Amino acid sequence: MTLHPEIAEFLAALPAPPEGPLDPVAMRAADEAHLPPVEERLPLHAVQDVTAKTDAGEVPVRVYTPAEADTYGLLVYFHGGAFFLGSLETHDHVARSLAQETGLRVVSVGYRLAPEAAFPAGLDDCYAAVRWAAGEDSGLDWDGATLAVAGDSSGGTFAAAVAARAHDDGFDRITHQILYYPSLDLDFDADRYPSLRENATGYGLETAGLKPFNAFYLDSGADPADPLVSPIKRTDLSGLPPALVVTAEHDPLRDEGELYGERLRAAGVAATVSRYPGAGHGFVQHFSWIPEYHRVFGGTRDFLNRR
């Protein structure tokens, strides 16, 4: 299937990227320049900014409550942005849709970004936020049943790494991992996966851009050979939580996500891989208003409810 026409039209209208080195501060400002005002966002029962006091320090989180209840299943969400972009604001609409569709209380994590915060600061924040969310001191009224981690792109990297780290630490409360077009192999050799060649240009995220976009993270001390940086490098995937891996047909990262799902299943982990035709990288953040892609939230709900 060709790229969805509404996505293709949007990409065709984008201006050429500025020449020269990437400026993270300017790019973050541009990301947040055109966000809708709060009153135009999807309404929920409650949305509250909280400071999570964790072993990694104080971590800003935003808590989305879809309806009033005595206890809640929790979904802890990590935004994407190549480890140096993205925020609670840029992905607010994703967290709201996840809360509405799944019925879970969603905790979106404002983790520290590269290059200002060296590896593993962002990962530490994400892991600490999950452990905080499950604790009595968080005030989140966790029901003790569902504790999911989820993320898109680099947030999917963190979700996979958090699930693995929790397993190794004996923290067995994470029940699901949800990876939206995750970046699971930060070795960007184009010969490693066919999708790096097939989807190299013309679909938004381009293969040639992977190294410079991830350089802020890798130059901060993240080693692509480390399974906490490249989760697909982990040799033993057994015992990890059930996984939903969502991929996009026209994404350079498609094949590493699908291979990870295959390896999880081979290790005895219940893993569902769902490829969205006509989509490119970033569709959950940028194009979930298109009905064909908004169903990713319903698919997430169905995965979480599967027994």
Indicate if 34 belongs to the active site. no
Distances (CA, A) of 174 to 31, 87, 159: 31, 23, 11
The pLDDT value given to residue 19 = 81
**Which one-letter amino acid corresponds to residue 104?**
L
pLDDT grade for 140, boundaries at 50, 70 and 90: very high
The pLDDT value given to residue 1 = 83
Per-residue pLDDT, averaged over 291-303, amounts to: 98
Closest by CA to 47, choosing from 37, 32, 61, 33, is: 61
Which of 138, 153, 183, 220 is flagged as catalytic? 153
Indicate if 70 belongs to the active site. no
pLDDT grade for 18, boundaries at 50, 70 and 90: confident
Distances (CA, A) of 221 to 116, 210, 299: 12, 17, 36
Indicate if 124 belongs to the active site. no
The pLDDT value given to residue 31 = 93
In DSSP terms, 51 is beta-bridged to 60
Per-residue pLDDT, averaged over 225-251, amounts to: 98
Q: What pLDDT, in 10s, does the model give residues 43-88?
A: 999 999 999 999 889 999 999 999 999 999 999 999 999 999 999 9
Per-residue pLDDT, averaged over 224-238, amounts to: 98
Which of 124, 185, 251, 255 is flagged as catalytic? 251
Indicate the average pLDDT of the chain.
96
Instruction: Flag whether the pTM goes above 0.95.
Output: yes
User: Tokens 């930060």 sit at which residue?
Assistant: 186
Query: 76 or 306, which is more confident?
Result: 76
pLDDT above 70 for 307: no
The one-character DSSP state at 29 is H
pLDDT above 90 for 156: yes
pLDDT above 90 for 20: no
The pLDDT value given to residue 190 = 86
List of E strands, the chain: 46-54, 57-65, 72-78, 105-109, 142-152, 176-180, 243-250, 271-280
